[in-house]
């Protein structure tokens, strides 16, 4: 299928066909040259836009916390396979297979890190 629409095919319909056919990159390229008229094409542009990455400033001590988390994981990960663990540095706080349940049991604290430990 050509990325150019055939006779009578609306641009938004062409984008839909490309996406449904697994040709997302081609749909993105098509949208670069498609007319900028219509809410549906604008919607497709927003949906297919490449993800935006925002770098956040690191908090003081975050590198140290990561090192402590890693130390704890190296020593105890096998005990919690298939679970989310909550750590504050190298301090184990809690674990659960369901992250939503785990989060409900934890206090609001930006120094707590949740880590998924895959099953063996």
Mean pLDDT of 100-118: 92
User: Residue 75's pLDDT is what?
Assistant: 94
DSSP H or E segment with residue 93? strand 91-96
Structure-token match 């949740």, residue found:
114
Domain boundaries, the chain: 11-48, 62-117
Average the pLDDT over 84-110 and give the result: 93
- Model pLDDT for residues 31-73, shown as the tens digit of each residue: 999 888 789 999 999 999 876 755 555 555 678 888 899 999 9
pTM (predicted TM-score)? 0.51
Q: How far apart are CA 33 and CA 7, in angstroms?
A: 17
**Cα dist from 62 to 56, 84, 94, 106, 112, whole Å:** 12, 20, 20, 19, 11
Per-residue CA distances from 72 to 2, 103, 115 (Å):
54, 20, 11
């Amino acid at each position: 299928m050509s990325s150019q629409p055939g006779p009578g095919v609306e641009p938004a319909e062409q984008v839909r066909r490309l996406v449904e056919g697994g040709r997302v990159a081609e749909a993105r390229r098509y949208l670069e040259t498609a007319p900028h008229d219509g809410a549906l094409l604008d919607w497709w542009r927003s949906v297919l836009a490449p993800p935006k990455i925002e770098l956040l400033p690191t908090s003081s001590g975050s590198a140290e916390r990561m090192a402590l988390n890693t130390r704890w994981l190296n020593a105890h990960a096998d005990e919690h396979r298939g679970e989310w663990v909550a750590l504050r540095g190298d301090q184990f706080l809690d674990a659960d297979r369901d992250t939503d349940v785990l989060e409900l049991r934890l206090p609001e604290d930006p120094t707590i890190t949740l880590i998924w430990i895959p099953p063996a």
